[in-house]
Amino acid sequence: MTAGGPARPWGDGTRSVRAGEAAPVPGAPLRPSPVFAAPFHLGDRPPGADGADGYARTGQPTLRAFEAAVGELDGGRCLSFATGMAAITAVLLACAGAGDRVVLPSDGYYTTRLLARDELARLGLRVDLVPTPEVEAVAARGDLGGARLVVLETPSNPQLDVCDIAAVARATRAAGALLAVDNTTASPLGQRPLALGAQVTVGSDTKALTGHSDLLLGHVSTTDEEVLARLRSWRDHTGSTPGPFEAWLGHRSLSTFDLRLARQAANAAAVAELLAAHPAVSGLRWPWRPGDPSHAVASRQMLRPGGVLSAELPDAAAVGRMLGAARLWTAATSFGGVHSTVDRRAQWGGDDVPPGFVRFSCGIEDTDDLVDDLRAALDRV
C-alpha cells in the first residue's frame, strides 16, 4: 500500500502511522512483530531465491518493514544503517573512491568532518569543505565541476543555515555529480530532498525520526537504482546493518512522528519568542522565525518547522547558571527527542562557535511549562 488515496495525498499524521504498510492479511498481527534471527532456514534453492531470507546482515523482515515506511516518507527506496554515521559513510564510500573530488559542508555535523579529515583523506578522496551559506554561489559559478559527489547539510547542525537544494541540484546534475543531502535536522517530514532534485537523502534516525533518545539508527533513501545497489552491497560487505530490535523500536516510534514534531515545533516557536526578547541572549537562529537569515529559503523549500534552535549566551559560565537553575531543560547532546535539552557546543570542540553558543532541542513537554522554566533559568544568568 502506498501513501495517498486516489483523491489527495495523505497528511503527515496518516503517513507516520501507515507508510509502508503491507496489505492486511486476516489473522496476521496488526503491527509487524520483530523477527530475531541471524540465520534463516535454507531450502534447496540458492539463498535469496524467491526473496527468501538467508542471513540477517543482508536483510530481514523487521528491517524491510521499517525501510518500507521510511522510504515512503522520503519518496525513495530506503536502506537502514546502524547509525547516522554508518549511513553517511556508506554514501561517501559507495559513491566515491580514491582520486574523486567530494564536496562537504565546512559547518556541518562535526563527526562528518572528522570522517573527512581522518579517513577519507587517507583513502585518497579529495575533500573540499564549503560553508552552507556559500554553496549555492559556488555551484552557480560552476565550481562544483569535477566533483563526483556533493553533500549538503540543510539546515546545518548546529548553526541552522539553510541552502537552496533545488538550485544546487541543477548545478550538480549539469556537472555530472551526485547530490546527497544530510536531512537529519529537517527530518523526512520537514523536507524532501529527493523531490527537490537530490539523488540521495541521508539522515541520523537517532534524532527526531525515532525521537525517544534510546536508539542509534540511520538511513539512506535514493531514487537511483544503481546507487541503491551499491549501497546495498556496501552495507552487506561492511556489516553496518542494524539489528531487528532497533528496527522494530524505530518503526514503533515512527507512528508518533507527526505528533512529536508538531509539539516540538510549537514549543520552538514559543521558545524563540522568549529567547529573542531576553537580554541575556543574542544570535537566535530558528529558520522559521521571520527575520532569520534562513527564513526565506526555509519557508520556500521546507514543509514544516522543527524543534531545534540555536542562540548565544555571554559565556560558558552563563550557560552553566542557566542549566543549574532549569528543571526541564537538561544538558545533553543529540536532539529531536521527547525531552527538552540544551547542548553547549563548544564543550565538544570542533564547531567554530563561541563558548556561550547553545543548541536548544525542544521536547514534547507542555509549552507553558517549558517557557516558564526557561524564563526563570535565564533570569538567573
Ligand X SMILES: *Cc1c(COP(=O)(O)O)cnc(C)c1O
Residue 218 within binding range of ligand X, rule CB under 6 A = yes
**Among residues 20 and 155, whose Cβ is nearest to ligand X?**
155
Q: Which of residues 84-103 bind ligand X (CB under 6 A)?
A: 84-85, 88
Nearer to ligand X, 311 or 378 (CB): 311
> Is residue 83 part of the contact set for ligand X (CB under 6 A)?
yes
> Residue 195: what are its φ and ψ, rounded to 5°?
-70, -20
Q: Is 109 a catalytic residue?
A: yes
Determine if 153 is a binding residue for ligand X (CB under 6 A): yes
Task: Select from 27-35, 78-86, 255-263, 273-281 the region that touches ligand X (CB under 6 A).
Answer: 78-86
- Residue 358 contacts ligand X per CB under 6 A: no
Shortest Cβ distance from residue 214 to ligand X (Å)?
Answer: 13
Residue whose CB is less far from ligand X, 53 or 204: 204
The three cell numbers of residue 367 are 509549552
- Grid-cell match 554553496, residue found: 135
Q: 297-307: string of b/e by CB count within 10 Å (b at 16+)? A: bbeebbeebbb
Name the residue nearer to ligand X (CB basis): 132 or 381: 132
Q: What is the edge-to-edge ordering of all strands in the sheet holding 308-312? A: 282-285, 308-312, 357-361, 341-344, 330-331
- 182 labelled catalytic: yes
Number of shown-chain residues binding ligand X (CB under 6 A): 15
Phi-psi domain of 260 (left: phi exceeds 0; alpha: psi -120 through 50; beta: other): alpha
Round to whole Å and give the CA distance between 66 and 78: 9
Cα–Cα distances in angstroms (integers) from residue 262 to residues 102, 210, 307, 342, 358, in the given order: 35, 14, 8, 19, 22
**What binding mask, one character per residue, do residues 255-274 give for ligand X by CB under 6 A, x or -?**
--------------------
Give catalytic status of residue 315 as yes or no: no
Q: Would you say 206 and 84 are in contact if contact means Cβ atoms under 8 Å apart?
A: yes
Name which of 150, 250, 87 is nearest 79 in CA terms. 87
Alpha-carbon distance of 58 to 44, in angstroms, equals: 19
Specify the stretch interacting with ligand X by CB under 6 A; choose among 55-63, 172-180, 202-210, 312-320.
202-210
Query: Rule CB under 6 A: is residue 81 a binding residue for ligand X?
Result: no
Binding ligand X (rule: CB under 6 A), the pick from 66, 109, 234, 248 is 109
* Beta-carbon contacts of residue 29 (< 8 Å; ≥ 6 apart): none
Catalytic residue among 12, 100, 107, 109: 109
Contact positions toward ligand X, by CB under 6 A? 83-85, 88, 109, 153, 157, 182, 184-185, 204, 206-207, 216, 218
Active-site residues: which are they?
57, 109, 182, 207
